[in-house]
A and B are shown apart, each in its own frame.
Chain A
């Protein structure tokens, strides 16, 4: 009986250890929680990629951020979206309002990247921007033309895009906070605008 008891205990211990390791000491039970916690503990150096913006101009993402010297609040969209993305769109509209109100325009900008480059042409992005009443000094739109770069970006940031059963897409929407040096430092819940702006506003840390 002793052998059985020992084996049972060691199985349980092993299970607890595996579960603790998986869930980051039982704090993150979903992969979204793990993603956010990982980024919060270690900033992630984002890959460099080419963006095609709503005006049809191409530019490099990281170089552009580093030159601009501003924080970037990054969100992923696709313009034909009528579900999750409208929520993200609304949040970004609110963010834009707050940025203007609090005069943070020189510290932070908003960027919405489309993960559907075939349909989200510069014209589609422009129309979307108009629908969202986007101020182009603060809120910009772009798409990643190269599929491989797009997949690398989505994978490194941890965005999983799945079909929503209605002909559209859904993904784990969130506000990604990018430092002026091009590294992702925090992932904030879509409903938590105040937190995102607080991170940007009072961080007197030099980029």
Chain B
């Protein structure tokens, strides 16, 4: 609903200063809703990691489309081939998957706020970097990130000890499965889109 709001806004007029403030208000609402629901969402590990984390990252990613073009160009010097953005993405997601970090986020609101901002920023930066990276660089980062997430997912599934004091072992196992599935799905979707695009290119070349 929020996303259709934003796309309607975008489609109608160019981004003026007034619109930018309205956009900021919408993002304030987005953060407000996510932060306000944190107690409910973070009660369950699956909701926390499989729903909240992607919601934050894709939120940031969507905003990336509406950034002014001059910002994007300015950052290109620091983000050639999209490397910086992707390294930042991998670093941030790995840190927030450490069980200790999850526990801290659940128990301390300040750390949770840090988590929100960092994951959202990661999505935002990734939206720029992803376009700058060619297929090869995208493939490399996506596959290595997915392998890391699948490994972490397997660890969560197989370990006997309770990794997070805030969550039960069966939630932990379910989250592990969820992480593995999310990562594999993203890789599959990426490859599907790649083959689709190559197929279209072949067809138009013929």
Contacts and interface: CB of A to CB of B under 8 A. Distances in A.
Mutual binders A and B: yes
Interface of A: 1, 3-5, 7-8, 11-12, 14-15, 18-19, 22-23, 28-34, 160, 162, 164-165, 170-172
Given A8-B87, A15-B91, A31 B99 contact: yes
Contacts of B78: 3-4, 7
B27 interface: no
B80 A162 contact: no
A32 B168 contact: no
B104 A12 contact: no
A4 B91 CA distance: 16
27 contacts: A4-B81, A4-B84, A7-B79, A7-B84, A11-B91, A12-B87, A19-B95, A19-B98, A22-B95, A22-B98, A22-B101, A22-B104, A28-B100, A29-B98, A29-B99, A29-B100, A30-B161, A30-B162, A31-B99, A31-B100, A160-B103, A160-B165, A160-B166, A162-B165, A162-B167, A164-B168, A171-B165
Nearest to B92: A15
B88 interface: yes
Interface string B56-99: 00000000000000000000011111011001100110110011
Interface of B: 77-81, 83-84, 87-88, 91-92, 94-95, 98-101, 103-104, 107, 161-168, 170
Given A3-B78, A19-B95, A34 B83 contact: no
A159 to B, nearest CB: 8
Interface of B is mostly: helix
A160 B95 CA distance: 22
Contacts of A170: 168
A19 B90 CA distance: 13
A169 to B, nearest CB: 11
A28 B161 CA distance: 13
A76 B191 CA distance: 52
A162 B103 CA distance: 12
A144 B43 CA distance: 26
A4 B100 contact: no
A4 B80 contact: yes
Contacts of A31: 99-100, 103-104, 164-165
A34 B163 CA distance: 12
B107 A11 contact: no
A19 B94 CA distance: 9
A5 B162 CA distance: 39
B88 A4 contact: no
Nearest to B170: A165
A45 B184 CA distance: 48
B44 to A, nearest CB: 10
Contacts of A30: 99-100, 103, 161-165
A1 B101 CA distance: 33
Q: Which of A5, A7, A18, A164 has the largest count of B CB atoms less than 10 A from its CB?
A: A7
Nearest to B99: A30
A11 B84 contact: yes
A11 B87 contact: yes
